[in-house]
A and B are shown apart, each in its own frame.
Chain A
């Protein structure tokens, strides 16, 4: 059974279609990447999934049943893009308060806070105010608050911004751990290298519409341009071949594009015939970054400034 099923979701503002007929499904335990340029409608989409906004049309199924914000919010943890904490409130109180708002009892809250604070070495922060913390520390606190009530679905909007590599890794490990425990994570970001590293499945949203959906590998396969890297011990005089064209010449190898109707073996044979030693040969898959830019390149930036 799918954990989350989004069907033909629409949210129109006065002057723009923020979310225009988006559907997708997420299986339990998946780390799901939601990608898109600024103003693509990601935040609106996430807000509908968290129950902050009601969709104009379409429906959301949570664990197979219709999503009811009042009942299901307990099972969702949401960490918005811009961190939200009460600056003047003490950290311990703040964590208790926000967990209780999710519906946790005070005793449960205390137990869970203790576990997480120990894990992240935050025990000494208890009586500090949020304004006394560094940005990275606030980020850690926000993460703990998001996952404290053990939600089935964790929504993280740019969780690594402002974190140093050590803390970044700490959070990343936690995300993997949570996914292993069967939690589902929706992960929204602009940082493509993180997506490639972390996500099992991604969708790409642009102008309110879904333009890409699939596993990272499938998408790369889908967008590959038959580029290969060949490592050679000597360079031939001529690269002329019907099978490929040279895209780029590197220090000890070439990047080639194999033409239609030819296979990798044709390329290898070409060099072998010339008695050139082949050191390595591998396919170059396009990076997500490249796919992303290619797909959203021509979107007018002005979209995000259109008043609602």
Chain B
């Protein structure tokens, strides 16, 4: 045990001290921030040119609606869900038929997902109008408790509905769940490749340098293999923790720069001041950023980060042993590695293809089953988790997926260790998969 610890320490320290590691650890969060910035920018860009048809059959709105920012509201035009687009509307807002203070009946129908900013503007508009209406009507009846009216109004949220291409209606995706799921799945995909290849290269280096023979005269081959896998896995975890810390620091700095009440004040000031329009662009960027961070905070981060670490760790362990086995079968020529790696990289690539599909249909049977099968589960499950546990992903699926991944890791490690033991000391021709399979099944 002491010896495997020495191996882990060496593998870990030589890599963590490496310049590439330090560089990628610090540059990635900056890149991440840049990507968020671009997303916010695009979201803001998308807010203009919205024209919404408001179908208010019960007469909630008494007066014609003013346009707000870049969104135009038209009260009661002659359109429905099949014709609104042809008439130049981007969405239809249905007012509820029931009581005003019933909060859940407002519906916003559109062909595409509404951006965060636009959605927010629509909600603001509805609230303002209702607040005014309520104030007016209660003013006549003598009840002027403004606070309670505001509280009612603030609860009103339009329910976004997306009309599918086949005219069926799908629930509007949560932008944040989509983004986080996509990001997490993709990050696992990339890290499996990066760290898996790192393990393979490490094994190849030891084999071609013939250091393996020296080390194996001191420790068991299994210790050498596991030491390397665990050491490199620890490098991966270190990198993630560094990223989480750096991103937290970055985002709290950004957050500190735009406190919410300041945003509000800026907003008010802009409306009253004649020159306010000049600041519109910058102001909207601020709001966008604040909204984006608000959306992101709706995701259960503890669950996502916890599951991410689990799926990274065991997905990595599952594949790393296979990469080690390939590395041990290769001789000198990196081209051999390419062809031997193919059967391992194929399921990973397949998983990312499934994941791209699963992110739009997180409850489809393809998404469900491939998030349980260990070959795909680290990537596909990570894409589904942000949509909600146990909402989209029931507990039994998550549990089964995790159990199978652990079992899969034990199996691949057991088989790989046998291939590794033979391969690492065998020089000459590269081994074929058939030969490796024979080594794996041979009794020890």
Q: Which residue of A lies closest to B210 (CB)?
A: A84
B3 contacts A101, C-beta separation under 8 Å: yes
Binds B, one of A72-80, A191-199, A233-241, A263-271: A72-80
| A276 interface contact, C-beta 8 A | no
| A287 interface contact, C-beta 8 A | no
Rounded to whole angstroms, the CA-CA distance of A114 and B150 in the bound complex is 80
| B6 interface contact, C-beta 8 A | yes
A52 contacts B219, C-beta separation under 8 Å: no
| A107 interface contact, C-beta 8 A | no
Rounded to whole angstroms, the CA-CA distance of A98 and B3 in the bound complex is 10
Q: Which of A50, A82, A307, A308 contacts B217 (CB 8 A)?
A: A50
8 Å CB interface, B201-230 against A: 205, 209-220
Q: Which of A53, A80, A89 contacts B214 (CB 8 A)?
A: A80
8 Å CB interface, A95-135 against B: 97-98, 100-103
Rounded to whole angstroms, the CA-CA distance of A78 and B214 in the bound complex is 7
Given known A-B contacts A85-B211, A101-B6, A51 and B14 have beta carbons under 8 A apart: no
Q: Which residue of B lies closest to A50 (CB)?
A: B217
A102 contacts B218, C-beta separation under 8 Å: yes
Q: Which of B14, B215, B425 contacts A89 (CB 8 A)?
A: B14
Contact string against B for A residues 37-76, beta-carbon threshold 8 Å, 1 for contact and 0 otherwise: 0000000000100111100000000000000001001001
B210 contacts A101, C-beta separation under 8 Å: no
Task: Please indicate the chain A residues that have their CB under 8 angstroms from the CB of B14 in the complex.
Answer: 88-89
Looking at B3, B6, B213, B215, the one whose CB has the most chain A CB atoms below 10 A away is B213
Contact string against A for B residues 288-312, beta-carbon threshold 8 Å, 1 for contact and 0 otherwise: 0000000000000000000000000
Q: In the assembled complex, how far is the CB of residue B432 from the closest CB belonging to chain A, in whole angstroms?
A: 11
Rounded to whole angstroms, the CA-CA distance of A88 and B19 in the bound complex is 13
8 Å CB interface, B304-322 against A: none
Task: Please indicate the chain B residues that have their CB under 8 angstroms from the CB of A97 in the complex.
Answer: 6, 10
Q: In the assembled complex, how far is the CB of residue B425 from the closest CB belonging to chain A, in whole angstroms?
A: 7
A84 contacts B425, C-beta separation under 8 Å: no
A83 contacts B210, C-beta separation under 8 Å: yes
Q: Which residue of A lies closest to B429 (CB)?
A: A307
Rounded to whole angstroms, the CA-CA distance of A86 and B10 in the bound complex is 11
Q: Which of A53, A82, A98, A308 contacts B215 (CB 8 A)?
A: A98
| B79 interface contact, C-beta 8 A | no
Task: Please indicate the chain B residues that have their CB under 8 angstroms from the CB of A52 in the complex.
Answer: 213, 216-217, 425
B3 contacts A84, C-beta separation under 8 Å: no
Q: In the assembled complex, how far is the CB of residue A74 from the closest CB belonging to chain B, in whole angstroms?
A: 8
| A87 interface contact, C-beta 8 A | yes
Contact string against A for B residues 184-216, beta-carbon threshold 8 Å, 1 for contact and 0 otherwise: 000000000000000000000100011111111
Q: Which residue of A lies closest to B425 (CB)?
A: A52
Task: Please indicate the chain A residues that have their CB under 8 angstroms from the CB of B213 in the complex.
Answer: 52, 78, 80, 82, 84
Task: Please indicate the chain B residues that have their CB under 8 angstroms from the CB of A307 in the complex.
Answer: 429
Rounded to whole angstroms, the CA-CA distance of A97 and B215 in the bound complex is 10
Q: Which residue of B lies closest to A157 (CB)?
A: B213
How many residues on the B side are at the interface (Cβ–Cβ under 8 A)? 21
Rounded to whole angstroms, the CA-CA distance of A179 and B425 in the bound complex is 30
Rounded to whole angstroms, the CA-CA distance of A47 and B10 in the bound complex is 25
Task: Please indicate the chain B residues that have their CB under 8 angstroms from the CB of A87 in the complex.
Answer: 205, 209
Q: Which of A47, A73, A80, A88 contacts B218 (CB 8 A)?
A: A73
Q: In the assembled complex, how far is the CB of residue A143 from the closest CB belonging to chain B, in whole angstroms?
A: 12
| B426 interface contact, C-beta 8 A | yes
A100 contacts B6, C-beta separation under 8 Å: yes
Q: Which residue of A lies closest to B227 (CB)?
A: A101
Task: Please indicate the chain B residues that have their CB under 8 angstroms from the CB of A88 in the complex.
Answer: 14
8 Å CB interface, A229-281 against B: none
Given known A-B contacts A97-B6, A101-B3, A308-B426, A51 and B217 have beta carbons under 8 A apart: yes
A78 contacts B6, C-beta separation under 8 Å: no
B209 contacts A84, C-beta separation under 8 Å: yes
Rounded to whole angstroms, the CA-CA distance of A83 and B425 in the bound complex is 14
B210 contacts A80, C-beta separation under 8 Å: yes
Rounded to whole angstroms, the CA-CA distance of A88 and B7 in the bound complex is 16
Q: Which residue of B lies closest to A90 (CB)?
A: B14
B209 contacts A101, C-beta separation under 8 Å: no
8 Å CB interface, B245-288 against A: none
Rounded to whole angstroms, the CA-CA distance of A47 and B427 in the bound complex is 14
8 Å CB interface, B70-98 against A: none
Task: Please indicate the chain A residues that have their CB under 8 angstroms from the CB of B212 in the complex.
Answer: 84
Task: Please indicate the chain B residues that have their CB under 8 angstroms from the CB of A98 in the complex.
Answer: 214-215, 218
B210 contacts A82, C-beta separation under 8 Å: yes
Q: In the assembled complex, how far is the CB of residue B48 from the closest CB belonging to chain A, in whole angstroms?
A: 55
Q: In the assembled complex, how far is the CB of residue A262 from the closest CB belonging to chain B, in whole angstroms?
A: 53
Q: In the assembled complex, how far is the CB of residue A198 from the closest CB belonging to chain B, in whole angstroms?
A: 22
Q: Which residue of B lies closest to A99 (CB)?
A: B218
Rounded to whole angstroms, the CA-CA distance of A176 and B409 in the bound complex is 51
Q: In the assembled complex, how far is the CB of residue B292 from the closest CB belonging to chain A, in whole angstroms?
A: 43
Q: Which residue of A lies closest to B221 (CB)?
A: A52
B214 contacts A76, C-beta separation under 8 Å: no
Q: In the assembled complex, how far is the CB of residue B435 from the closest CB belonging to chain A, in whole angstroms?
A: 9
Given known A-B contacts A73-B217, A101-B215, A102-B218, A86 and B425 have beta carbons under 8 A apart: no
Task: Please indicate the chain A residues that have their CB under 8 angstroms from the CB of B211 in the complex.
Answer: 84-86
Rounded to whole angstroms, the CA-CA distance of A102 and B218 in the bound complex is 5
Rounded to whole angstroms, the CA-CA distance of A70 and B221 in the bound complex is 12
Rounded to whole angstroms, the CA-CA distance of A89 and B6 in the bound complex is 15
Q: In the assembled complex, how far is the CB of residue B8 from the closest CB belonging to chain A, in whole angstroms?
A: 12
Q: Which residue of B lies closest to A74 (CB)?
A: B218
Task: Please indicate the chain B residues that have their CB under 8 angstroms from the CB of A102 in the complex.
Answer: 218
Q: Which residue of A lies closest to B224 (CB)?
A: A101
Rounded to whole angstroms, the CA-CA distance of A15 and B196 in the bound complex is 34
Task: Please indicate the chain A residues that have their CB under 8 angstroms from the CB of B209 in the complex.
Answer: 84-87
Contact string against A for B residues 133-176, beta-carbon threshold 8 Å, 1 for contact and 0 otherwise: 00000000000000000000000000000000000000000000
Contact string against A for B residues 114-143, beta-carbon threshold 8 Å, 1 for contact and 0 otherwise: 000000000000000000000000000000
Rounded to whole angstroms, the CA-CA distance of A103 and B210 in the bound complex is 21
Task: Please indicate the chain A residues that have their CB under 8 angstroms from the CB of B205 in the complex.
Answer: 86-87
Q: In the assembled complex, how far is the CB of residue A299 from the closest CB belonging to chain B, in whole angstroms?
A: 19
Rounded to whole angstroms, the CA-CA distance of A89 and B215 in the bound complex is 15
Q: In the assembled complex, how far is the CB of residue A154 from the closest CB belonging to chain B, in whole angstroms?
A: 12
Rounded to whole angstroms, the CA-CA distance of A87 and B202 in the bound complex is 12
Task: Please indicate the chain B residues that have their CB under 8 angstroms from the CB of A50 in the complex.
Answer: 217
Rounded to whole angstroms, the CA-CA distance of A83 and B209 in the bound complex is 7
Looking at B210, B218, B220, the one whose CB has the most chain A CB atoms below 10 A away is B218
Q: Which residue of A lies closest to B213 (CB)?
A: A80
Q: In the assembled complex, how far is the CB of residue B226 from the closest CB belonging to chain A, in whole angstroms?
A: 14
Q: Which 4 A-B pairs have the closest CB atoms?
A: A84-B210, A84-B211, A82-B210, A101-B218
8 contacts between A and B (CB under 8 A): A52-B217, A70-B220, A85-B214, A86-B209, A89-B14, A98-B218, A101-B7, A101-B219
Known contacts A83-B210, A85-B214; 4 additional CB pairs below 8 A are: A51-B217, A73-B217, A84-B209, A84-B211
